[in-house]
Amino acid sequence: MGSNKWGRTEVSFEKPRFDPGFVSALRDARHVCVLTGAGISAESGVPTFRDAQQGLWAKYDPHQLATPEAFEENPELLWRWYRWRRDLVAEANPNPGHLALAQLAELVPRLTLVTQNVDGLHQRAGSRGVIEFHGNLFDDRCYAEGCIIVHDQQAEVPVCPNCGANLRPGVVWFGEAIPENALNESFAAAADCDIFLSIGTSSFVYPAAGLADIASENRAIVAEINPNPTQHAATYDFAIAGNAGVALPKLLESIAT
């Protein structure tokens, strides 16, 4: 990527300022591709993966509760942990950042939303066609066949009604590949878009972090929205220092005026 051409913008509640050139480009965008990470959901009170280790779960390394090997060894333990996490997430609501992205999709010809989050808050905010890199916390999948199973079982470890294998939470665990369709769709969107927004993510973990590179290589404007600058902020075209729940609604206001 080249040097930061727009400069860094600090966004406050009182006087948010956005570069007019960037606002104009977003207003005229043909295709906007968005990548979101844990930061946007943290604003809704959803703990990050490691922060979720609280109470009875504080003694566990989260990496030991998110692998196929751990599930095979003790599926009851993993299901208890994931049900606890589901209860935490179920209490959260989409924040203004989630809602603003759903609204942005109505203002541009095309918006592709890729998320590293598994909480489903984008869908609850009204976003459609969300590409979930790491699956969805509220899906159940057959451990043997990988397909999503809808059921009403109350068993501690539910089983697949088709083949009898254990069901598992529908998230991507350590050591597992990102779903191929999610990779293909997100890479294609990053290559096609004219604006790429990286929101609430460290831009450190690949392959998600590589989407901004793909967009930049195809001459898209790349922008970051984060409370703290990431390692790539200085190389992005535009960077906003602020929470998504503040910056995104204000950005929408700027587009409309």
One-letter amino acid for residue 182 of the chain: A
3-state DSSP assignment of residue 78: helix
What are the structure tokens assigned to 146, written together? 């990988």
Question: In angstroms, rounded to a whole number, what is the distance separating the alpha carbons of residues 255 and 35?
Answer: 20
Contacts of 80 (CB under 8 A, 6+ apart): 156
Kind of pairing between the strands at 110-115 and 8-10: unpaired
What are the structure tokens assigned to 100, written together? 């603003």
Helix (H) or strand (E) holding 244: helix 244-256
Catalytic option among 98, 134, 151, 232: 134
Question: In angstroms, rounded to a whole number, what is the distance separating the alpha carbons of residues 183 and 206?
Answer: 11
Residues 130, 122 contacting (CB under 8 angstroms): yes
List residues bridging with 166 in a β-sheet.
Answer: 159
Mark whether 134 is an active-site residue: yes
Residue 125 has phi, psi (to 5 degrees) of: -80, -10
What are the structure tokens assigned to 39, written together? 């930061």
Residues taking part in catalysis: 134
